[in-house]
Amino acid sequence: MSTPGPTSTARSAPRVEVVRHTLPNGLELFLLERRKLPLLSITLLLPQGVNAEGPGQAGLSHLAASLLPQGTRHRDAVRLAEDVDALGASLGVHSDYDYTSVGLSCLARDAAEAIAILAEVVSEPALEDAEILRKRSDVLALLERRKDDPSDRVRTRFSELLFGNHPYHHPRLGYPESVNALTNDALRDFCRRHYHPRGALLSVVGDFEPAAMLELLRGGFGSWPGGAAPVQPVPPTFREPSVLVETIQKDDVAQATLRVGGPGFRRDHPDYAAANLLNYVLGGSGFGSRLMKNLREEKGLTYGAYSSFHTKKLAGAFLAGLQTSLDTMNAAMAELLSEIRRMRDHGITQEELDWAKRYFTGSLPLSFQTNDQLANHVLEQALYDLEPEFWLREMERMKAATLEEVNAVATRYLHPEAFTVVVLGDFRGREFRMP
Separation of alpha carbons 97 and 126, rounded Å: 24
* % of the chain exceeding 70 in pLDDT: 97
Summarised one tens digit per residue, pLDDT across range 255-273 is: 999 999 999 999 999 999 9
pLDDT of residue 16: 76
How confident is the model over 280-294, as a mean pLDDT?
A: 97
- Which strand ranges, in their side-by-side order, compose the sheet holding 420-425? 244-249, 420-425, 255-263, 316-325, 305-311
Is the pLDDT at 156 greater than 80, yes or no? yes
Distant-in-sequence, close-in-space partners of 17: CB < 8 Å, separation ≥ 6: 32, 33
How confident is the model over 386-412, as a mean pLDDT?
A: 94
User: Phi first, then psi: what are they for 312, rounded to 5°?
Assistant: -125, -175
Is the pLDDT at 13 greater than 90, yes or no? no
The confidence band for 365, taking pLDDT boundaries of 50, 70 and 90, is confident
Lowest mean pLDDT among 1-5, 77-81, 292-296, 402-406: 1-5
pLDDT of residue 15: 73
Mean pLDDT estimate for the chain: 94
How confident is the model over 267-280, as a mean pLDDT?
A: 97
Separation of alpha carbons 195 and 99, rounded Å: 11
Q: Is the pTM above the cut of 0.95?
A: no
- Return the number of other C-beta atoms located less than 10 Å from residue 401's C-beta: 20
Q: 85 with 154: CB under 8 angstroms?
A: no
Residue 295's nearest CA partner among 280, 282, 308 is 282
Span between the terminal Cα atoms of the chain, in Å: 39
Separation of alpha carbons 79 and 225, rounded Å: 25
- Phi/psi-derived region of residue 83, left when phi > 0, alpha when psi is between -120 and 50, beta in every other case: alpha
The confidence band for 14, taking pLDDT boundaries of 50, 70 and 90, is low
The confidence band for 4, taking pLDDT boundaries of 50, 70 and 90, is very low
Helix (H) or strand (E) segment spanning residue 120: helix 111-123
In this structure, what DSSP letter does residue 22 have? E
How confident is the model over 136-154, as a mean pLDDT?
A: 96
pLDDT of residue 46: 96
The confidence band for 411, taking pLDDT boundaries of 50, 70 and 90, is very high
Winning range, highest mean pLDDT, from 7-11, 14-18, 78-82, 360-364 = 78-82
Domains of the chain: 11-221 (3.30.830.10), 244-425 (3.30.830.10)
Q: Is the dihedral of CA 75, 40, 107, 98 positive or negative?
A: negative
Separation of alpha carbons 394 and 9, rounded Å: 10
Do the strands 28-33 and 201-206 form a parallel or antiparallel pair, or are they unpaired?
Answer: parallel
pLDDT of residue 265: 97
* Helix, strand and coil percent figures for the chain, each rounded to 5: 50, 20, 30
Residue 398's nearest CA partner among 435, 364, 424, 367 is 364
Q: Is the dihedral of CA 50, 52, 54, 59 positive or negative?
A: negative
The confidence band for 12, taking pLDDT boundaries of 50, 70 and 90, is low
**3-class secondary structure, 99:** coil
Summarised one tens digit per residue, pLDDT across range 84-104 is: 999 999 999 999 999 999 999
Q: 162 with 169: CB under 8 angstroms?
A: yes
H-state helical runs in 164-209: 176-181, 184-194
Separation of alpha carbons 57 and 193, rounded Å: 15
